[in-house]
Chains A and B, each alone.
Chain A
Amino acid sequence: MNVTCKDRERIFEDGTAAEWMALEAHAAGCVKCAEELRAWKSLSVAAKELQDYSARPELWTRIERALIEEDARKAERKSWLSFLPSLAAGWQTALAGAFVLILTVSVTWIIRESKGHSSKQDNSLLKSAALKEVESPETAYEKAIDKLAAEAKPQLDNPATPLLANYHEKLLVLDSAIADLRAQAGLNPSNAQLRYQLLAMYQEKQRTLEEILEARK
């Protein structure tokens, strides 16, 4: 077989044994090819420097332990799913898919339901709490005004002056309005407008009683 310098790289890449021998023969008389051939083969020699097959016996022990642990984990998972042994893989997948679907739908439904329920509960809770907050000072306020009324009662029962008689009239009107408003508020406890009107009436009654007690002095 006759090879030339032009064939060198092709032989380096994919030469047959016969072509390599022919290249060797050619290199004996060609300085350039001899140099290239030496450099090329040197890389293979150099590659041997990267061979280090000293084995540590501990490595297999470590791997063996890891394999056993993994096996145990696998067995644990298998036993957990042991109720599915007789089913084919396709059926198992379909069953698993159906289970996941049912679980997703159920969880979504439960979450939505509980959200709706809790929001309903929250609304009513908020309303009743707010109502309590309004009603308790209202009652306290009413009691305080009743105390004032009790103090002013002797003057009002026997008004000594026309002014006191007018005050008495005014208080009777105010009490009547308060009674009306309280009746309406009882029917519609969360009506804020009624509550404001009731408050205004109480404030007016308080002012009137204070004026009566002031006039006594």
Chain B
Amino acid sequence: MGTMGLALPWKARITSALREPAAVGRWGTRVKPSEERTGGPAGASVEAASEDAALAAACQSGDLRAYERLYAMHGPRMKNLARNVLGSAADAEDAVQETFLKVQRSVASFRGQASFVTWTYRILINTCYDARRSRLRKKEVTTDDDTEEMPRMEPRAPGAHPSLRMALERALEKLTRHQRDVFLLYEVEGFRHAEIAGMLEITQAASKNTLFQAKKNLREMLEPPRSSSAELH
């Protein structure tokens, strides 16, 4: 396994700030929280809920500006999520466009069982996996080699720790679909478990447990060999 040999200086990356998973509200643009924010004002969630409902109603009426607002609020995050699932920026853009078209086609049947944004992300995730499957089918038709099922990760703009990002991308591909989705939605995109539960149609407890399993597996995959770890001390 390629990532096992990567000695990641874990200690160097640890921040002193304590992360409280249930209390983090990193996204000011979040439209409707499906659970109360810990410590957050109750009025904010009501406001977000009504904004979500208004957005859904505007989209149902065919108002193109509503779709533009949806894109302005979630487009970059949708593209980033798709990019992390599909491994390519071009495929991610296609998936986002397809998601908007699917939303437009079926918005009339949206009854508000979940939040509109949650529903949109559910469509995006399904679209991404449809794209992965169709890419795999195409690959099987063109070549007999079916050994590589993972998407080939395209290089992106260099971040602070490119080797860490690459190792994480490879490790994520080795997780189960649900583990990968929950990790990306929670840790990368900052959604709460209640929102993730709505997107993936699972329970909140399942979302928490899946995240726990995902992180355990990632830790095992990314953990530096004990010997090199000892050298860092």
Contacts and interface: CB of A to CB of B under 8 A. Distances in A.
Interface string A34-49: 0000111111111111
A63 interface: yes
Contact of A62 (B68, B77, B93, B209): B93
Contact of B212 (A13, A52, A55): A13
A77 B209 CA distance: 47
B168 A60 contact: no
Nearest to A23: B18
Interface string A1-39: 000000001001111110011001000000000000011
Contacts of A62: 93, 97
A70 interface: yes
B219 A43 contact: yes
A42 B10 contact: yes
B54 interface: no
A41 B14 contact: yes
Contacts of B20: 17, 20
B103 to A, nearest CB: 9
A50 B79 contact: no
A54 interface: yes
A60 B75 CA distance: 8
Chain A interface category by residue count? 35 or more
B13 A67 contact: no
Contacts of B38: 17
Interface in B66-123: 67-68, 71, 75-77, 79-80, 83-84, 93, 96-97, 100-101, 104-105
A10 to B, nearest CB: 9
B187 A16 contact: no
A67 B75 contact: no
B218 interface: yes
B71 A43 contact: no
A55 B160 contact: no
B173 interface: no
A124 B190 CA distance: 81
Contacts of B219: 39-40, 43
Q: Which of B96, B100, B162, B169 has the most CB of A within 10 A?
A: B100
A1 to B, nearest CB: 14
Nearest to A62: B97
B188 A47 contact: yes
Given A44-B19, A70-B105, A50 B100 contact: no
Contact of A46 (B84, B157, B168, B205): B168
Nearest to B193: A14
Interface string B203-229: 001001101100100110011000000
B77 A53 contact: yes
Nearest to A15: B21
B156 interface: yes
B5 interface: no
Interface string B140-153: 00000000000000
A82 interface: no
Contact of B168 (A21, A24, A47): A47
Interface in B183-204: 183-184, 187-188
Nearest to A43: B215
A70 B168 contact: no
Contacts of B19: 20, 41, 44
B58 interface: no
25 contacts: A12-B212, A12-B215, A17-B20, A17-B22, A21-B18, A39-B10, A40-B219, A41-B15, A45-B13, A46-B168, A47-B168, A49-B165, A50-B84, A50-B168, A52-B157, A53-B76, A54-B157, A59-B75, A59-B96, A62-B93, A63-B67, A63-B71, A66-B101, A67-B64, A68-B64
Cβ-closest 8 pairs across A and B:
A47-B187, A49-B165, A13-B212, A53-B76, A38-B14, A17-B20, A55-B76, A42-B13
Interface of B: 8, 10-11, 13-15, 18-23, 38, 62, 64, 67-68, 71, 75-77, 79-80, 83-84, 93, 96-97, 100-101, 104-105, 156-157, 159-162, 164-165, 168-169, 183-184, 187-188, 205, 208-209, 211-212, 215, 218-219, 222-223
